[in-house]
Amino acid sequence: MKEFDRQLHERVRRAEKVLTTYLPKEEEASFCLNVVQAMNYSVLSGGKRLRPVLMESSFELFHGENRDLLHPFMAAIEMIHTYSLVHDDLPAMDNDLYRRGRKTTHAVYGAGMATLAGDGLLNFAFETALLSFAAAGNSAETECVISALRILADKAGIYGMVGGQGADLHAEHDQALLADEKQAEETLLYIHEHKTAAMIESSLMIGALLAGATKEQVDSMEQVGSKVGLAFQMQDDILDITGNEKTLGKPIGSDEKNEKLTCVSLYGLSASEKKVKKLSDDAAALLMEQGAEKDSFLIDLIHFLIARQK
């Protein structure tokens, strides 16, 4: 096993361990057991755990020490990401029946319970993040937790991920938008920047912030996250055309079926692949400015993301 693969496996394992520590306990659920089961089914359906892995890696880049401060946010950001997928798969949105090789939450529990599971995960994420206050050893760390909560709320909300999802839904049914290339490009950038990149920005910013990074360093990590997020979503668009359904663990061609605006529909396949590479190279360059080594895990991870097949 290559060193990067070994490190990735270990970091994903750590993220999984952190996540399971903070999930709601089914034995304590009582009358809300069905909701809790749907929440846990959704979170434990596998996945890359990219956001908590990025958060931890950013924390390490800036030599963070208090991991008890970090862990609740690692769990929280994965819960928020999972809630967004649960809602994205609903019949009213993409109506997907499989994700990560398993039936989606609404396919197992019904649309109503899946909606509640997503709602529960979003709220429980902030309950979990608030636990970081107990780990703050001084007033400076307390202020960092407050700032991290602001970032998490902002990037997940109407000016972040939710706003991007709303623009995506609107674009599906706006044929005039698709006919105007300039407007279509601006809309696509907004969708990708907010729907996907916002939470990746949040991961890198919060990791740096909780490690004690300066405002300038946190701002730089936001730029890295923007480029990584855009590249990641563009690669998703590419895989929806070129990917293997068995490898991806979900149906391909759903973007075209739902008449979604994507980088492939706008730029074509070859140009999209070039854009992904440039964004990834630019992100790596910014990370090296912040002290990351050229062969560091974080930079290797960025290049891995653009070469992925799932």
Contacts of 63 (CB under 8 A, 6+ apart): 211, 212
Average pLDDT over every residue of 296-310: 84
Distance between alpha carbon 259 and the CA centroid of its chain, in Å? 23
Give the distance between the most distant pair of CA atoms in the chain.
Answer: 56
> How much is the pLDDT for 20?
96
Q: Ramachandran region of residue 252, left (φ > 0), alpha (ψ -120 to 50) or beta?
A: beta
**8-state DSSP, 45:** S
Structure tokens at 262: 């994507």
Structure tokens at 289: 């400015």
Average pLDDT over the chain, rounded to an integer: 92
Is a pLDDT exceeding 70 seen at residue 245?
no
Decide: 303 and 284 in contact? Cβ < 8 Å: yes
Measured CA to CA in angstroms, residue 125 lies from 153, 163, 170 at distances of 10, 19, 27
> How much is the pLDDT for 258?
56
Q: Which amino acid belongs to residue 98? A: Y
Measured CA to CA in angstroms, residue 288 lies from 214, 223, 298, 307 at distances of 16, 13, 10, 20
At 46, is the pLDDT very low, low, confident or very high (cuts 50, 70, 90)?
confident
Q: pTM of the full predicted structure?
A: 0.92
Range of the domain at 36: 3-307
CA distance 280 to 188: 18
Average pLDDT over every residue of 125-133: 99
Quickly list DSSP for 239-259.
Answer: HHHH--HHHHTS-S-HHHHTT
Structure tokens at 300: 């290797």
CA distance 54 to 60: 10
Q: Which amino acid belongs to residue 309? A: Q
Q: Domain with 271 in it: what CATH number? A: 1.10.600.10
Decide: 86 and 114 in contact? Cβ < 8 Å: yes
Q: Where are the beta strands (DSSP E) in 178-292?
A: none
Query: Rounded to the nearest 5°, which phi and psi values hold at 92?
Result: -75, -10
Query: Rounded to the nearest 5°, which phi and psi values hold at 296?
Result: -70, 160
Tell me the per-residue pLDDT of 176-190, one tens digit each, with 9 for 90 and over: 776 788 888 999 999
Is a pLDDT exceeding 70 seen at residue 110?
yes
Average pLDDT over every residue of 238-258: 65
Tell me the per-residue pLDDT of 136-170, one tens digit each, with 9 for 90 and over: 999 999 999 999 999 999 999 999 999 999 998 88
CA gyration radius, the chain: 19
Would you call 98 helix, strand, or coil by DSSP?
strand
Q: How many independent structural domains does the chain possess?
A: 1
Is a pLDDT exceeding 90 seen at residue 200?
yes
> How much is the pLDDT for 295?
78
Share of the chain above pLDDT 90, in %: 75
Decide: 27 and 69 in contact? Cβ < 8 Å: no
Structure tokens at 100: 């990560």
Decide: 267 and 274 in contact? Cβ < 8 Å: no
